[in-house]
Structure 1
Amino acid sequence: MTKKTPEPFLPNKLPLDDLNDFILKPDIIDKMIEASNAMGIYKGFLYNTPNPMLLISPLLIQESVLSSKLEGTHATLEDFLNFEAGNDTPIEKDEMTEIANYRTALYDALDTMGTINNDDPGKLPLSNRIIKNMHKILLNNVRGNTKNPGNFKRAQNYIGSSTEISYTPVPPSHTEEYMANLENYIHFDEKKILIQSAIIHAQFEMIHPFEDGNGRIGRLLIPLFLYYKEYLPYPTFYMSEYFEADRNRYIERLSDISSHNNWLDWIDYYLDGIIKQASRNTIKANRLLSLYDEMKVLCTSKVNSKHAINVLDFIFKHPVFKSGQLKDELNVGSLSTVYNLLDKFTELGILTKSDEKRNITYYSPQIILSTE
């Protein structure tokens, strides 16, 4: 007997009427305090570090890999770094492009979007317009590029396997209505920002407004929302590592909302993730800062070139690369200048190079290891 496909689920509109029933429970209060403290330490790092976006860029690459992995890609961090350097990898190009698109979507949103108190008329609020544009970038030139990129779904989508559908999201006829409600809630003055981010992510996943790419857009909304609300000075807080570590639990907690209106366990689970990822991000960010400072001392004392710091910054953005990529970045006319710099950085132990006689790959094992 064929199992019946579940009817489309229509979640409660936001804000939740019974939110205080969840957040006033002693266990949740304790976790909110712990999560706020952990995030406070991480925020302190971001506020007190010059150019934290540069230092966090290796973590964004890792986030792009892990978020895409939740959607079925198989690439590792090293695979993607080699792909960006132009090296062959065992992973299909389509998967690599998906990872690159994830990072591009975040950067594009950052360029376009202001924050809640920003008075720049050229900047947009975090809105469905931003979300749709991220989706268009995400599906550019990859699998799923025929699934209405940049627009809400026109056909009903489903969650589950090819043999069993476990969840039917909001139907297309109600998607605009629910996404308008979600957009309004993004601008709603909820007193507990971390709880609000938990609700936004879950509600987006239950709506599943696009025909493909919903999981990745939903995860991108977390750092963008925290940045938009000026809870963080940069959109550099990522949850995919936590979700990917036990994806079954992640799915179960989301499913419990639609099946039993169990927001409490979702919020509890999400706050655990905030605590863990804030601590891990702080450790990794400080590790990268220490590494950058050590390398900067070496550069300024041992490399007699006006390009030395620019090379170091490039290495943090691209821990695996080819000489031609560095030449383009520095905008110098001669490759000999680039090779001299690369030889110096290799002698100092900042870079290691592959064994090929031509088309050599340069990489920084210390930066790569610092993200793990």
Structure 2
Amino acid sequence: MSGIKGIGLLPLIVTTSQALQLYKKVAKIKSSIGKLNSELEHSMVNSQLIQMLTLKESVQSTRIEGTQVTFADMIEETTKKNKSNDVVEVENYMEALSEGIELIKNGMPISSRLIKQLHKVLMGKDIRGTTSSAGDYRGIQNFIGPTKRMKDAVYIPIGANEIGDYMTNLEYYINSEKHRSFEKEFNQDSEVLLDETSDSLIKTAIMHAQFESIHPFLDGNGRMGRILIVLNTMQDKLIDKPVFFVSEELEKERIRYYNLLNGVRGKDPDWFSWIDFFLDACQRMSESMLKKLESITALASKGLDKINKDASIVNHIWFTTFVKPYVTVSQVAERLGIAVTTARKGLNVLVELKLLDVDHSKKKNKVYVNYDLIRLLQRQEM
């Protein structure tokens, strides 16, 4: 059995009934996103939380690719000098994601230029992947499959000579600009064209699957495609903060995720099932994130009540642990620009208040841990 070959150009067509189902889900998700936006706007920990969620997204996205590192591993590794290959891969992802967020904030549109720039960061220090072509579209045929033989391929993407045309088609689609490649015939009585004017959530689902199917790089396509989900929702102003992190939900159903992605390819694509699945993942993600944010805000407030000192340096040290749940005295001192003795005294106050834990058996280089925050970030919502 030969693998599925290629993918069509955008836009795509679904039935009127399918479009109605999708837009009903979109309305529900946007209600959840509206609540999340409001909570982020008023939360005392939104900037700290975004950094932790960015790290969690980086972990989950690389786990989809097969790394074994966990969120807890990454938190612990912040105090270490020698890091494993998997940890370096997560750090690469986080660096590329953070750079992409800044570029979008500064008005740079999603384009081949941006994608190549971020891919170079993503693959620059990669241990597992192919670094020689970092930041460049592939010049040869590639394929997806369980072995290194093309005859075993599950999917064979478009040829390298077609990447330019396909990425131009995708770039115009992402940026809601009309392009000559968009012309398609469809039955207006029973079908809907999901073109460049479609809802942002639906377009994000389509963009991700299309990018993955073009598979423009030799390696790193999955990770790059999931970074684009975050950037596209920011560019379209779907959410005010860069927290549209859906990789955790996709990782939970990895086999289904890959099966449905493969389903949009070839001569008889099933785009509805993929978009429907992606929207469900977005709904779960937004609800889960809202609960996490509410719980973490409550934890921060509880800590301030225990400290009971307005504008105290201990307050600032407490909030520092929301960025670095595993933290040393020197890290706090450097981050806040305070004396080491002041940092140590403040951290020990938090230990006495049972807000942090520390290994009392160690004499030097003690690590202070905000376990309550880590538990809330790791909590799985059912």
Q: Which residue of 2 aligns with 1:94?
A: 85
Task: Determine if contact 1:14/1:181 at 8 Å carries over to the other structure.
Answer: yes
- Once the two structures are superposed, residues 228-279 of structure 1 have per-residue CA deviations (whole angstroms, 9 ceiling, x without a partner) of 1111111101111111111110011111111431001111111111111111
The counterpart of 1:157, out of the listed 129, 142, 146, is 142
CA contact (8 A) 1:105 1:135 kept: yes
Aligned residue among 53, 60, 68 for 2:62: 68
Which is worse superposed, 41-50 or 58-67? 41-50
The question of 1:273 aligning with 2:297 is answered: no
Q: Write the letter of the residue equivalent to 2:26.
A: M
Counterparts of 1:49 and 1:128 in 2: how far apart (Å)?
Answer: 36
Q: Tell me the equivalent position of 1:138.
A: 122
**Post-superposition offset of 1:20:** 5.9
Query: For each residue in 1:114-171, what CA deviation from the matched residue of structure 2 results, as whole angstroms up to 9, or x when unmatched?
Result: 3xxxxxxx64122222222221111122222524112212232221112632111222
Cα offset, 1:190, TM superposition: 2.1
Q: C-alpha separation between the residues in 2 aligned to 1:147 and 1:22?
A: 47
Q: Does 1:171 align with 2:159?
A: yes
Q: Aligned partners of 1:145, 1:323: CA distance in 2, in Å?
A: 38
1:119 is matched with which residue?
none
CA distance in 2, matches of 1:15, 1:366: 46
What is the one-letter code of the residue matched to 2:209? A
**Code of the aligned partner of 1:24:** A
Q: CA, structure 1 residues 285+36, in 2 after alignment: closer, same or farther (shift >3 Å)? A: same
Aligned residues with identical type, % of pairs: 29
SS of the residue aligned with 1:341?
helix
State TM-score, norm by structure 2: 0.86
Deviations along 1:173-229, one digit per CA (max 9) or x if unpaired, are: 111221121111111152311111110111011011111111111111112111111
**Alignment RMSD, CA only?**
2.2
Amino acid at match of 1:344: V
Task: Provide the residue aligned with 2:235 in structure 1.
Answer: 228
2:250 to 235, 238, 243: 243
The aligned residue for residue 112 of structure 2 is 128
Please give the alpha-carbon distance, in whole angstroms, between the structure 2 residues aligned to 1:20 and 1:275. Answer: 23
Query: Distance between the aligned counterparts of 2:160 and 2:316, measured in 1?
Result: 49
- Which residue of the other structure, out of 320, 326, 329, is the alignment partner of 2:332? 326
Q: Give the drift of 1:37.
A: 2.2
Which of the numbers 75, 89, 98 marks the counterpart of 1:107? 98
Contact persistence 2:215–2:221 (CA under 8 A): yes
Q: Answer yes or no: is the 8 Å Cα contact 1:153–1:172 preserved in 2.
A: yes
Comparing 170-179 with 79-88, which one deviates more in the overlay?
Answer: 79-88
Secondary structure of 1:321 counterpart: strand
What is the aligned counterpart of 1:339 among 332, 341, 344?
Answer: 344
TM-score (norm 1): 0.88
How far, CA to CA, are the matches of 2:244 and 2:257 in structure 1?
A: 18
Aligned to 2:192: none
Distance in 1, matches of 2:214 and 2:47, equals 31
Q: Distance in 2 between matches of 1:171 and 1:132?
A: 18
Structure 1 segments unaligned to the other structure (5+ residues): 115-121
Following superposition, the deviation at residue 291 of structure 1 comes to 1.3
